[in-house]
């Protein structure tokens, strides 16, 4: 039987296990990336492993998230990461060079290769035909040390694209349509592959918009074939030599096939506060808009910003709209300056920001109170923008630009002819902001520069024989890692300081949580479905670890967060009967008797609610490797004990 793209790439990278759906495999990782907000922890972990030089074909450390420097912390972290990169054989993409996913696509991505990154939008690389996964920092540290990356073999879903997008309808509308159909948990346990005759009508940056936001489906990753369009993109980047064709066999077997006729799509918007709350823009038309932000790893390619520049050319943003634009990379920024697009954006009154994540992660440009903000980004979780009551809508660059001019939600298809743009045959290639690995002889003498805000990894301990602790928090469905460990300009500088950042853990759900957890000394958390969706930040596991959380019991988990909990030595446990969620209440005294013994014997666990006197069966399907990590007290201890990354 024929193979899917993912099966082909997994097969050539398989280190352990077999490709049976639902079983655990270890795969070889060719490339890694980190960004600064997760990078300091990842490199502290990598240092703790004692591997002198990264063992991947290519590992890149990017600085793109914590670029607003209102104190010494972020700048110190940047210097720390730069020194680690120099000492351990990594590429270092300097602040100002752009958002990791955009730069990686332009300068490093290789079709058919594997990539993991300490950022959930790493699947952006799927736009080039890479198999790219978001992961926790510890998993990235292990991969840098040459260790395998472990995943559960997902189901294979094919999205068959036919037709061609109409003018004004964008790649963003394709992925919003997928989110509308599948929801934020529809991709859990699945790899989404795009195929069909519509594929060739989409450029690589458009494909990357779609694979980027596959993260919002909860998918393990998303991938496009590597074809002539991919080759043309790589040629234009001066990297045609890394191109190889990657495609699914005609008789490949998929668990599910979804049909999308590109020509039938219309402009869409994800409404507050979830990327799957999708409506046609036409239904929202006329709603006053306060802010428009164009940028992020989803929609800040040269193509996106040239379109925006062409729409804004000769016009001025509506008086009631604050318009900000952050280009995805220095290459995009520089080329916009060279082709005149930047002048059009400036003339239109756009507030030009540096090429970084910026407003997407609440690093500035928080909207006004209750403000309606149209963003070309990928997440609109409540409060993520930095304004608790802001109403954030996710839209295409086209919808954002026309609405910035009119001051109200505007369907671009009602705006006459779409302006035409011509993409250059060659990109401006200037890698002077990427510092390559230094020769071996220089590495040893490099001093690691640690600022005072960098605190060690929280204390861990082997799993106890049994756990008895109160339920210190009960939350509902679709809890995001932004709920667990908020980001934003004020909290992000604490990413290297777990004791300090823990003071903000879960405060969006319950401001008293950190104090209650500390007073209890240890505790359980209960959640609904899709617990931990969103960001890959392992801080959403490390802060609970620091606060004494021993286990999270939920109806279901998002993939990366479940892995991060295990890596932190916290048990992610699932109710065998989802209805049992109602049989635990905040404050109940819970226990997990004979925990170690049962895990070692592979026996099912039972949660005892001592307050109500009930016994609740749990669904515990850990692999042997996961059990060993949990028993050791987390991946760092496990790695140290087994002496191998
Ligand atoms: C995000 O978009 O939520 C982030 C910020 O890029 C995160 C990483 C982080 O929290 O540092 C992600 O997507 O993984
Ligand atoms: Fe940065 Fe936003 Fe992309 Fe995350 S989603 S990497 S914060 S631009």
- The residue-averaged pLDDT of 92-100 equals 98
Instruction: For ligand 2, say whether the CB of 384 is within 6 Å of any of its atoms.
Output: no
Mean pLDDT of 257-278: 98
Q: Which residues of 23-56 are buried (b: 16+ CB within 10 A; e: fewer)?
A: ebbbbbbbbbbbbbbbbbbbbbbbebbebebbeb
Give yes or no for residue 640 having a pLDDT over 90.
no
**E strands, 382-423, in order:** 391-394
pLDDT for 445-479, tens place per residue?
999 999 999 998 888 999 999 999 999 999 999 99
Taking CA 101 as the corner, what is the angle to CA 267 and CA 18, rounded to the nearest 5 degrees?
100
Q: With a 6 A CB cut-off, is 355 part of the ligand 2 pocket?
A: no
> Rounded to the nearest 10 degrees, what angle do helices 137-144 and 635-642 cross at?
20
Q: In the predicted model, is pLDDT for residue 645 greater than 70?
A: no
| 162-209 residue pLDDT tens | 999 999 999 999 999 999 999 999 999 999 999 999 999 999 999 999
pLDDT tens-digit map of 21-63: 999 999 999 999 999 999 999 999 999 999 999 999 999 999 9
* Closest CA to ligand 1's atom 2: 535
Residue 536 C-alpha to ligand 1 middle, in angstroms?
6
Which percentage of the chain shows pLDDT scores above 90?
A: 98
Looking at every residue in the chain, the average pLDDT score rounds to 97
Listed in sequence order, the DSSP H helices in 134-200 are 137-144, 171-182
Average pLDDT estimate for 62-71: 97
Say whether pLDDT at 644 is over 80. Answer: no
Query: Within 13 Å of residue 167, how many CA atoms lie on the same side as its CB?
Result: 10
Looking from the CA of residue 361, the nearest atom of ligand 1 is 5
List, for residues 480-515, the tens digit of each pLDDT value. 999 999 999 999 999 999 999 999 999 999 999 999
pTM across the whole model: 0.98
Closest ligand by atom to 561 CA: 1
Q: Report whether 488 contacts 362 (CB < 8 A).
A: yes
Distance in Å, CA 101 to ligand 2 centroid: 8
Q: What is the 3-state secondary structure (H, E, C) of 439-458?
A: CHHHHCCCCCCCCCCCCCCC
In the predicted model, is pLDDT for residue 643 greater than 80? no
Count of Cβ atoms closer than 10 Å to residue 274 Cβ: 20
The pLDDT tens digits for 377-410 are 999 999 999 999 999 999 999 999 999 999 999 9
Residue with CA at minimum distance from ligand 1 atom 12? 535
| pLDDT tens digits for range 581-628 | 999 999 999 999 999 999 999 999 999 999 999 999 999 889 999 999
Nearest alpha carbon to residue 372 among 281, 255, 285, 288: 288
Confidence of residue 641 (pLDDT cuts 50, 70, 90): confident
Q: In the prediction, which pLDDT does 1 show? A: 86
Our CA dihedral for 134, 137, 143, 144, rounded to 10 degrees, sits at 120
Q: Nearest ligand to the C-alpha of residue 534? A: 1
Region 420-437: mean pLDDT is 97
pLDDT at 422 over 80: yes
Whether pLDDT at 250 is above 90: yes
Of the listed ligands, the closest to the CA of 353 is 2
Residue range 633-641: mean pLDDT, rounded: 92
């Amino acid at each position: 039987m024929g193979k899917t793209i993912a099966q082909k790439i997994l097969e050539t990278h398989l280190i352990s296990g077999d490709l049976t759906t639902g079983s655990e495999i270890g795969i070889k990782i060719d490339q890694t990336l980190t960004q600064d907000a997760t990078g300091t922890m990842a490199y502290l972990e990598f240092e703790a492993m004692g591997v002198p030089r990264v063992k991947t074909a290519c590992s890149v450390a990017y600085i793109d998230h914590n670029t607003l420097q209102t104190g010494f912390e972020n700048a110190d972290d940047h210097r720390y990461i730069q020194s680690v990169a120099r000492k351990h054989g990594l590429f270092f993409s300097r602040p100002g060079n752009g958002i990791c996913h955009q730069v990686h696509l332009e300068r490093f991505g290789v079709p058919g290769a594997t990539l993991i990154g300490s950022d959930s939008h790493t699947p952006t690389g799927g736009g080039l035909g890479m198999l790219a996964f978001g992961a926790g920092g510890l998993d990235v540290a292990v991969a840098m040390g040459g260790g395998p990356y472990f995943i559960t073999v997902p189901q294979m879903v094919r999205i068959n694209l036919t037709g061609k997008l109409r003018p004004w309808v964008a790649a963003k509308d394709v992925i919003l349509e997928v989110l509308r159909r599948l929801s934020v948990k529809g991709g859990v346990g699945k790899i989404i592959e795009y195929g069909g005759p519509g594929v060739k009508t989409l450029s690589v940056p458009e494909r990357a918009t779609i694979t980027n936001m596959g993260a919002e489906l909860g998918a393990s990753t998303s991938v496009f074939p590597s074809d002539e369009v991919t080759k043309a993109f790589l040629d234009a980047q001066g990297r045609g030599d890394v191109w190889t064709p990657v495609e699914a066999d005609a008789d490949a077997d998929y668990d599910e096939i979804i049909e999308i006729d590109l020509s039938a799509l219309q402009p869409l918007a994800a409404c507050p506060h979830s990327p799957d709350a999708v409506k046609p823009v036409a239904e929202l038309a006329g709603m006053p808009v306060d802010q428009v932000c164009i940028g992020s790893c989803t929609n800040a390619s040269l193509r996106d910003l040239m379109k925006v520049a062409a729409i804004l050319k000769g016009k001025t943003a509506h008086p009631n709209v604050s318009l900000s634009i952050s280009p995805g990379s220095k290459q995009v920024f520089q080329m916009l300056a060279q082709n005149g697009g930047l002048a059009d954006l400036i003339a239109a009154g756009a507030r030009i920001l540096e090429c970084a994540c910026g407003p997407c992660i609440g690093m500035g440009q928080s909207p006004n109170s209750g403000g309606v903000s149209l963003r070309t980004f990928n997440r609109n979780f409540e409060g993520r923008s930095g304004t608790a009551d802001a109403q954030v809508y996710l839209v295409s660059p086209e919808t954002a630009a026309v609405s910035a001019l009119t001051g109200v939600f505007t369907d671009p298809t009602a705006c006459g002819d779409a302006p035409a743009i011509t993409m250059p045959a060659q990109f401006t290639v200037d890698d002077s902001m990427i510092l390559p690995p230094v020769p071996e002889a220089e590495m040893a003498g490099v001093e690691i520069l640690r600022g005072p805000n960098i605190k060690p990894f929280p204390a861990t301990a082997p799993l106890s024989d049994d756990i008895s602790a109160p339920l210190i928090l009960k939350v509902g469905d679709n809890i995001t890692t932004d709920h667990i460990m908020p980001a934003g300009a004020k909290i992000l500088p604490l990413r290297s300081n777990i004791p300090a950042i823990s003071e903000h853990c879960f405060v969006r759900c319950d401001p008293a949580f950190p104090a209650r957890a500390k007073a209890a000394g240890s505790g359980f958390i209960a959640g609904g479905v899709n617990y931990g969706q969103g960001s890959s930040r392992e801080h959403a596991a490390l802060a609970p670890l620091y606060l004494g959380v021993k286990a999270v019991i939920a109806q279901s988990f998002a993939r990366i967060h479940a892995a991060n909990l295990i890596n932190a030595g916290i048990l992610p446990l699932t109710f065998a009967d989802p209805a049992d969620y109602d049989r635990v209440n905040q404050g109940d005294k819970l226990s997990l008797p004979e925990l170690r013994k049962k895990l070692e014997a592979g026996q099912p666990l039972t949660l005892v609610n001592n307050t109500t006197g009930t016994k609740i069966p749990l669904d515990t399907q850990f692999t042997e490797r996961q059990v060993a990590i949990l028993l050791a007290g987390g991946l760092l201890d496990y790695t140290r004990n087994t002496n191998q990354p």
